[in-house]
């Protein structure tokens, strides 16, 4: 089953004076359970493609379906609900809240979804244990290494058991050892069934995915695994 699909997806950025054409009509899909890496040169549109599929931004034209549901022509509230329930995000800079502990960071989206504090804490603990941080629940981000912070961010992204985990350059701020720890966590999650879309410009990490999709100048030049579309 396709968990996400785009049809003729176009994205232009318009700042009032200059129009930058970034995505030129992308037809793309990811099946349930896949671990897909989106690769390509800097500026080729990798993050832009992910942000359209992740409902962080709105396309200029074209269609996007999440689990078969049209997510372009829906209202703001419905988009917000899908973002909260179906999607989890990991960014290069971790995007943790500095004042909160690791456990509290993971609890934030769970509480937004309506879980009680107690239940949210139990879930946060379970997912932090999964990423090897069961002993770091009460540490704030500044007390953690970059690799640990990124694993907190992964735990937060998957704690609501999203349909798709989207990671934009999750290892770009990390050294090799920490990057491998984060990649191990992603591979384990995928083995347990989590669908993952990861943007990276680093070949060694892209190769750890099941499929590598290559973007160039806003077009897909290779769908990977011999796929045509
Ligand atoms: N908000 C924006 N406004 C204008 N141009 C943008 C914006 N975001 C990205 N771009 C441009 O779109 C192109 C693709 O960017 P991006 O998707 O971030 O590439 P990648 O992630 O592959 O490095 C680049 O030329 C970039 O400068
Ligand atoms: Mg990018």
Q: Which ligand is nearest to the CA of 168?
A: 2
pLDDT at 94 > cutoff 90: yes
* Ligand 1 pocket, Cβ-based, cut-off 6 angstroms: 13, 20, 22, 40, 42-48
- Closest atom of ligand 1 to CA, residue 215: 22
Distance of CA 45 from the midpoint of ligand 1 (Å):
6
- Which residue has a Cα nearest atom 12 of ligand 1? 22
Confidence class of residue 28 from pLDDT cuts 50, 70 and 90?
very high
Q: Give 3's contacts (C-beta < 8 A, 6+ positions apart).
A: 30, 31, 32, 66, 67, 163, 164, 195
User: For residue 66, what is the enclosing H or E element?
Assistant: strand 61-66
Q: Rounded mean pLDDT of 196-219?
A: 97
Handedness of CA 48, 50, 56, 61 (dihedral sign): positive
User: What digits encode the pLDDT tens for the residues 177-202?
Assistant: 999 999 999 999 999 999 999 999 99
pLDDT at 73 > cutoff 90: yes
Q: What is the pLDDT of residue 19?
A: 95
Q: What is the pLDDT of residue 227?
A: 81
Distance of CA 117 from the midpoint of ligand 1 (Å):
38
Q: What is the pLDDT of residue 6?
A: 98
Distance of CA 188 from the midpoint of ligand 1 (Å):
31
Burial of 138 (0-12, 13-18, 19+ CB in 10 A): exposed
Confidence class of residue 92 from pLDDT cuts 50, 70 and 90?
very high
- Which residue has a Cα nearest atom 20 of ligand 1? 43
Residue 176 sits at φ, ψ, to 5 deg, of: -60, -45
Confidence class of residue 37 from pLDDT cuts 50, 70 and 90?
very high
Q: What is the pLDDT of residue 229?
A: 78
Domains defined for the chain, CATH in brackets: 2-222 (3.40.50.300)
Q: What is the pLDDT of residue 225?
A: 86
Distance of CA 127 from the midpoint of ligand 1 (Å):
33
Tokens standing for residue 91 = 């960014």
How much is the mean pLDDT over the chain? 96
Distance of CA 34 from the midpoint of ligand 2 (Å):
21
- Closest atom of ligand 1 to CA, residue 218: 14
DSSP per residue, 25-42: EEEEEEETT-EEEEE-ST
pLDDT at 212 > cutoff 90: yes
Q: Give 67's contacts (C-beta < 8 A, 6+ positions apart).
A: 1, 2, 3, 4, 86, 163
- Closest atom of ligand 1 to CA, residue 44: 22
Q: Rounded mean pLDDT of 106-119?
A: 96
Distance separating alpha carbons of residues 206 and 210, to the nearest angstrom? 9
């Amino acid at each position: 089953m396709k968990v996400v699909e785009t049809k003729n997806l176009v994205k232009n950025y318009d700042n009032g004076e200059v129009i930058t054409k970034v995505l030129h009509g992308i037809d793309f899909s990811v099946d349930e359970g896949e671990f897909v890496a989106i690769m390509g040169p800097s500026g080729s549109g990798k993050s832009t493609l992910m942000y359209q599929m992740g409902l962080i931004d709105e396309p200029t034209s074209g269609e996007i379906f999440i689990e078969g549901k049209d997510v372009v022509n829906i209202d703001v509230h419905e988009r917000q609900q899908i973002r909260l329930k179906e999607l989890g995000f990991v960014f290069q800079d971790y995007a943790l809240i500095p004042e909160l502990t690791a456990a509290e960071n993971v609890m934030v989206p769970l509480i937004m979804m309506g879980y009680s504090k107690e239940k949210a804490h139990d879930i946060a603990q379970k997912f932090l244990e999964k990423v090897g941080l069961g002993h770091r629940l009460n540490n704030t981000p500044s007390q953690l290494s970059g690799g640990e912070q990124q694993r907190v961010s992964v735990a937060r992204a998957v704690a609501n058991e999203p349909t798709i985990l989207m990671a934009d350059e999750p290892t770009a701020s990390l050294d090799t050892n920490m990057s491998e720890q984060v990649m191990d966590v992603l591979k384990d999650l995928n083995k347990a069934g989590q669908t993952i879309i990861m943007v990276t410009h680093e070949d060694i990490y892209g190769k750890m995915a099941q499929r590598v999709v290559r973007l160039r100048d806003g077009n897909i030049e290779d769908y990977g695994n011999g796929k045509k579309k």
